[in-house]
Structures are given as structure tokens and as C-alpha cells.
Chains A and B, each alone.
Chain A
Amino acid sequence: MRASKLWPVVRLAVALLFIIPVYWILVLATGYHGAVYHLPPVWVPLFHWAPMVYVLTHTHWMRYVLNSVGITTATIVLVVATSALAGYALAEIPFKGQTAYFFLILGVMMLPAQALLVPQYVVMFHLHLINTYAAMVVPFAASTSGIFLFRQFFKKIPVSFGEIARIEGVSTLTYIRRVAVPLAKPAVATTVLLTFIASWNQFQWPLIMTNSPQIQPIELALSHYMQAYEANWRELASAALIALSPILLVFGFTQRYIVQAVAGGDLNAKD
């Protein structure tokens, strides 16, 4: 009896261990000046926001945040569009080559990303995309998991809906936009969330594809900032907190859906 009362406590204790590093960012970022060098460490956040304000106003940090917001938004819009279109084709339109496309998508899932970086750089170079915003958006404008997700939801829509639309003379594109996609809201939500996380967290791709600070997304800027300002840990932690907070906010409100999406076999989230 007593053991069963104990389990929730054990669970919570173990879970709290996992977010200590995230909590520690808050402690370091908002502690008093020099608190990072204090032994034993100060364990509570003091909510001094001055270093955060300094980072936001005295560095180009706003610019990097906006870069990330722009890149992420564009990627999400494109991924939802291309996934809905291809998902509809795979679910509703019988055409020769459907199976082939299915396997082609599976193949993309199996290609190891690290092994492709060098030739991908060459392709981007020849397309004159190095150092452009497009370089960070276009290659991620299609998502294998997004296509499968939309296909799965479109298959559940009753066939009669499509037939009525055809009799009424509604074009395929209008039907997808006005009927099919609104009926597949969970697919839209999952695709938006997973694309947001993947896109906001991008690091290696922008590291290779850009060298101009003007267009850098936040993670890359953070890496450069780290190398330049490592002495000032409070500002560094503030910058890290700025990069982290959108993810924390979104995850806080939608963790249930994100966990479900991942458990449902969506494995495209990468390090």
C-alpha cells in the first residue's frame, strides 16, 4: 500500500532531474552579477532581467530572433502546402507511379543526413543559394512525415464528399483547400508543431550554408556569441534563454500533442 503511494513521488523526482539544466539557464541568466562563480552555487533564480535587456538591446539579437521567425514561418507554410498536396495525391488519386513515389519518400527517410552535407553544399553552391534565406527554407519545404500524415487523414474522409464536389464542379485545388485540409486539422497541427521545432532548432545547416551575420538564425548566432563572449556567463545564459523560450512556450501549451505525434511514429525530429 505504502509503495504504491510512493511511485508518483519517485516519478516526479526523476522527471525533475531531467529539467535541472533548463532550470539552471534561468538561474544563471537572472542571478546577480558574479553569481555563477559562487560556491556553493545559488540555487534560486533572482529574476534580474538587466542582462537579458542588455543582450536584446546592445547586440544584434533581435535581428537573429527575427531571422529565425521568418525562416521558421516560411518553412512551416511551405511544408503544410506541399504535404497536403502530395498527401492528397497519394490518398485520393489513383495514378501510375503512386507506389513508386511512396518508396521514393521512404528512401528519403533512410538517407543519412550527415553523409549528404558535402554534395548538398555543392548543389546549393551551383544554384547560387549560399548565404540566402532561401537556402535555409527551400530544402526543407517538403516533409516525408508530413506527407504520410496528410495521406493518412485524407484517407478517412468519406468518398462521397469528393464525388459531390466533382458533380458540383469544384476544382481539385479548391476541394483540397476548402474541404480536405479543414477536415484534417490534426494533421495540420502536428505538421506545424514538428516543423516549428525542427526549423527553430536548426544549427548545422545554417552553419554550413551561411557566413553573413545578417541572415543567421538564432542557434547559429548563439554559437558565435558563445565563442566571443564566453567570459560573461550571465549574458551568455540570457542569450541561450532567448533562443530557448519560444520552444518552452510552445511545448508548454502543446506537449500533449507533441508527445502523441512522436509516439505515433513520427521520427523526423533530429538533433
Chain B
Amino acid sequence: MMPRPVSIDSSQPDSRPKPHSRSVTRQQLRDTVWGYGLILPSLLVFLIFFYGPALFLAYIAFFHWSIFASQSTFVGLKNFTTLLHQPIFWQSLLNTAYYVVAVVPATTLLALALALLLREGMGRFGGGFSRALIFLPHVTPVVATSIIWVWIFNPQFGLANVVLHFFHVPPSNWLESVHWALPSVMIYTVWHSVGLYTILFLAGLASIPRSVLEAAATDGARGWRVFKRILWPLLGPITFFVIVLATINTMQTFSQVYTLTGGPHGGAGGPAFSTTTDSLLIYQTAFLYLHFSLASAMSLILFVLILGLTLIQKWFADRFVFYR
């Protein structure tokens, strides 16, 4: 790749005596040693803290295993069958599905709308500044901002009900209601994450060649037609990317569920387990009830689900997304 003195020599092997080809090998050896030496620190971190645990996960899931016991016994699929007989496991899957199916389309559509709104007038007052404001929630710490949302959702004194009252809508109990606890978490999540996807859509919009839009304008295309015929098809790849990313992220939501629906009142998981999502149940099973094997079996299922969804979305994208 890089033209080095030695590689120039090696391009004429016939005119060179034997010992020189050994110096090529020495250079290669040097490169190998330096190459591995330099990647070693990060490689160790990835192997010890990511790949190691990933392999270990598959191991614990099929064993009856305790962190305090010295030995473990192979139990095959028993952890999984135990899970299938627990109603809370099914409820956590349902809650997660509900959460993902609501949040992913909502964030994607809202992000697309915001990106279209912010598209014009870049750098002007209202352009870059508004962009920063919409992105800001995404970098805020989840616990700190969840605290304020708990108060916003307060049934008696919260802003949410003040707004509802203003529009003459009957008030809600929000986080304390079985039906509204999970939607409240959804509202928080949309608020916290939509800025990220808006920025991604904006990057996608910026990459559309000006000439295409100018040609459309010359042909008299306006508003909705421009969006439907030009922007939407050209945004296909970025839309696909946003949906995949949003799905992977929402399937693993933990911090806001823990903070918004935890606390001294009901314990994390909301009223009647209505916000017990998969990652919350994994956390509770492993670190409150210390059933590491059961939690591992759940983790493995989550792992497979996320991988499967990504592959299905990829399959869809290959058929319907127009890649330039």
C-alpha cells in the first residue's frame, strides 16, 4: 500500500541477491509486530469485555449457574422452558413489542417532518440554532431529565395536565395509570431521541444533489410532489438506516423506564408491571433476584430477536429501497 524503499527493491527481484528478500520479510515482520502492538490495547478491551461475555452468555443460558457456587450443571433448554411458563416474561415481550411498534414509526415520521422543516435556511437564524435545540435533548443525561418529566407527568401539578386542561381534554394519571404509564415513557423517549434521527435525515437531505431539485423546480414540481417523487425515494437508504437504528435502540431502552416508573412508589416496572420491558426484566431477574441463568436465557432471546429484526429489515430494504 505504501511505497517504501524496500518494496521498490522487491519489485525487481531478479536483479537482487538473495539476502535482500530476507530484508523484505524483516520489514513485514516489523509491520506485523507494530500492527498488532498498536491494536493490542483496544483489541484486549473488545475481547475481554465484549466478545468474551458474548460467548459466555451462550454458556450460562444452558446451565444452572450461580455466581457464588463453584460448580454449574448443564440443564439444556430448562432455563428457556422455565421462562416460557412465566407470565411476566410474556408480558415483558408484549410491553416491548408495544413500545417498539409505537416509538419507531413515531420517531421516524417526526424526525422526517422536523428535518424537512429545518432543511431550508441553513445557518440563518432559525436554521442552525433550531437544529441545535432539537438535538439538545439527545445529549442530556437520562436520569436528570427523567426527573423533570416525572414532575411534568404529575397528575395534580404537572405541566402535562395543565396543557390537557387548556385544550379541554380530561386529565390523565400518566405514570401512575396502567394504560398511560408506558405511553408516558414513549413520550419521553421520542423527546429524548428524535433529535438524533432528525440530524441523520438532515444529512441525507443535504446529500441530495442541488441539480436534481433545480430540474424538478424547472419542470414545475412543487411541495408534496417534490417530496413524493424526489425526496422520499432518494431518502430511502437513510430512512432504512434510521428505522434499523431506532428499532435496535428502543428494544434496549432501560434508563428511562427505570427512572420514570421506578422510585419508592411501585418499584421499577410501572403499575401492574405495565412498563416492565425486556431489558428491565433482565435487570431485575439478574441483579435483584440473582437468577443469572434465567436472565442469560432472556438475554440470548433478546440477542436473537434484535439480530432477526435487523436481518428482516435488511431483506425488506434490499427489495424496496432505492440505493443510488
Contacts and interface: CB of A to CB of B under 8 A. Distances in A.
A111 B41 CA distance: 20
Interface residues of A, number: 105
Interface string B36-71: 111101110110111111101100100000010000
Nearest to B157: A37
Given A95-B31, A104-B46, A118 B148 contact: no
B interface, over-half SS? helix
Given A11-B117, A21-B145, A227-B264, A119 B54 contact: yes
A90 B132 CA distance: 33
Interface in B263-315: 263-264, 278-279, 282-283, 286-287, 292, 295-296, 299-300, 302-303, 306, 310
B216 interface: no
Interface residues on B, range: 35 or more
Interface in A176-223: 197, 200-201, 203-204, 207-208, 218-220, 222-223
A89 B38 contact: yes
Contacts of A247: 139-141
A100 to B, nearest CB: 10
Given A88-B38, A203-B142, A226-B263, A122 B287 contact: no
B287 to A, nearest CB: 6
B30 to A, nearest CB: 9
B195 A219 contact: no
A253 to B, nearest CB: 11
A259 B296 contact: no
A1 interface: no
Most buried by B among A8, A112, A255: A112
B180 interface: no
B45 A125 contact: no
Contacts of A255: 132, 135-136
A227 B60 CA distance: 33
A163 B306 contact: no
Given A36-B157, A112-B248, A263-B203, A19 B43 contact: no
A interface, over-half SS? helix
Interface in A221-236: 222-223, 226-227, 230, 233, 236
Contacts of A24: 148, 151-152, 159
B36 A97 contact: yes
B148 A21 contact: yes
B132 A117 contact: no
A262 B253 CA distance: 20
Given A14-B114, A141-B41, A262-B199, A118 B259 contact: no
Contacts of B249: 270-271
A21 B191 contact: yes
Nearest to A112: B306
Given A112-B306, A243-B144, A19 B138 contact: no
Contact of A163 (B4, B131, B296): B4
B314 to A, nearest CB: 12
B35 A89 contact: yes
Contacts of B42: 82-83, 85-86, 141-142, 147
A121 B286 contact: yes
A28 B148 contact: yes
B38 A223 contact: no
A203 B292 contact: no
21 contacts: A15-B126, A22-B148, A25-B147, A36-B157, A82-B42, A95-B35, A96-B32, A98-B35, A104-B46, A112-B251, A118-B57, A118-B296, A119-B296, A122-B53, A142-B42, A201-B139, A201-B140, A258-B135, A259-B199, A269-B139, A271-B249
